[in-house]
Each structure stands twice: as C-alpha cells, then as structure tokens.
Amino acid sequence: MSELKPCPYCGGDAKRKSIGKYRVIKGRGQSYLATVGCRSCNGKATSAAFDRETAWEYAEETWNRRVLSWVPVSERLPEKKDIYFVIAQSREKKSPFKTLADYDGKSFVKYAWCEVISWLDDHTFDKQEEPE
Ligand SMILES: [Zn+2]
C-alpha cells in the first residue's frame, strides 16, 4: 500500500474505501474496481484491474496524481474534448466555486449559467496550488 496524499478537495485524510467485482472481460476474466477516498468528504478515485491488489494500487496512484497549475480560460482553452475540473463563477453571485464541466472542443457547456474562469489539464489538483 502506498502513502496516500491528503484529499485534494478538503485536505482530509484518505483511506482504501471499497473493492468489488467489476466487469468480466472475455479472455481476461473477472476484474475488480477499487475506490480510495477521503474520510471527511466525498472525494474519491476509482480504478479497475484483474486482481484486487493491482486495483488498489491503481486507485491509489490515481488518488495521488496531482497537477501543477490552473490555466486561465482567457489564455488557453483545453486541446481536446473532455470533462475538466474548473473554477467557475455564477453570473448572479460573484463568488467562484469549483466544479466539473464538459468541454465540447469550443466552450465549456455543462454550466451555461456560469462563467468558467480556469481549468486544470488533469482531473485532480493539489490544495496548495489553487490560484488566488
Ligand atoms: Zn476530502
């Protein structure tokens, strides 16, 4: 078991949460889905593999993966269609919040009622590395 980093959402401690049978893949057999997550909030990461210990290791790697910086939308948009972790601002309320938003190749579409300010080029982030 590798050392788990603190929760990127709230800073809480993380732990192995659950593992269960996942898909059966022809020629490979039963796979397992492991979930690693925060003890304090709903932050979590899941990964699948063909044996339990590898599934745990993959989920831990996913949980521990962090990125370096936020990218302002005004400077550069993502290069591919995907769901990105973003800092958005509601049009009525000025306070920014973090959420997931769909990028369709032209603009962030899921939250049309708010303005996406910046995004991450990965789906996890380090609490210490949020922009001001
Ligand atoms: Zn948390």
Per residue of the chain (132 residues), give pLDDT as tens. Answer: 679 999 887 889 999 999 999 999 899 899 999 999 999 988 888 899 999 999 999 999 889 887 667 889 998 898 888 888 888 888 887 788 888 888 888 888 876 678 888 888 765 544 444 433
Whole-number Å distance, alpha carbon 91 to ligand 1 midpoint, is 27
Ligand 1 centroid, distance to 17 Cα (angstroms): 13
**Distances, alpha carbon 131 to alpha carbons 14, 25, 46, 98, 114, in Å:** 24, 42, 27, 12, 19
All residues with CB under 5 Å from ion ligand 1: 7, 9-10, 12, 38, 40-41, 43
Q: Which whole-number Å values give the CA distances from 25 to 20, 29, 34, 51, 100, in the listed order?
A: 15, 5, 17, 13, 30
Contact (Cβ atoms closer than 8 angstroms) between residue 55 and residue 108: no
Contact call for residues 101 and 111 (beta carbons, < 8 A):
yes
How many angstroms does the Cα of residue 25 sit away from the middle of ligand 1? 33
